[in-house]
Amino acid sequence: MRKFGLIGFPLSHSFSKKFFTEKFLNEHIPDCEYDLFPIESIDLLPELISQNVGLEGINVTIPYKLAVLPFLNEVDEAADQIGAVNCISIQNENGKKLLKGYNTDAYGFEESLKPMLNEQHKKALVFGDGGAAKAVKYVLNKLNIPFIVVTRTPTSNSILYDAVTPELLQEYTVLINTTPLGMSPNIESCPDIPYEVLTEGHLAYDLVYNPEETTFLAKSKAHGASTKNGLEMLYLQAERSWYIWNT
């Protein structure tokens, strides 16, 4: 039996388990199972791997995307530059288990963003600068899209929301929400920007996918902007994990 799973804490609900269980069933992939491993400390990872002989791959979620790094033998370029891992492949080599880390969030975001971009989308505003923003910033750099990070508290690398003026929005036409604003159950919240100046030339992308249309997306769409939520990114990053585990 080939085993895969998700580490994090707590793991009260999991997209990954549902996704892979249904994938194995619908695509007639035999002898595979996907389990949840809610470990209370990342220090328990080596024990978890040794106890699960057939474990070939792990997804990583909060709070271990950074904490897992010292336990890995290798990381790919994206994960190294982002500084966060959400996918691990486990391979046996000369009787030892070798762990390589990847960041499939970056792949998922890039592949879901690119079809939305056009010649008007030359610069971006990134709302929030937490863990979710790491992959977004990596992809924007890769695509040569200059960006400004917008935060609620002052930092040396960001501007505040009150600096997002109509004039700035004329130039920065890609708007990406990496914060939990608008996520269920707080569905009324959204980044505090002058939505009334948005146009058909703007693209609003929200990493939040519950609800499917956040207040941020609804307000942007009302003024003509193209919109997209993070659901396709979620599916793409999961499929990328499966690709990594099978190559």
Residues known to be catalytic: 65
The residues near 173 (Cβ < 8 Å, ≥ 6 apart) are 120, 121, 122, 123, 124, 201, 202, 203
Q: How far apart are CA 175 and CA 182, in angstroms?
A: 15
| Closest by CA position to 109, among listed 143, 159, 80, 77 | 143
The residues near 78 (Cβ < 8 Å, ≥ 6 apart) are 102, 103, 106, 107, 135, 138
At 231 the three-state DSSP class reads helix
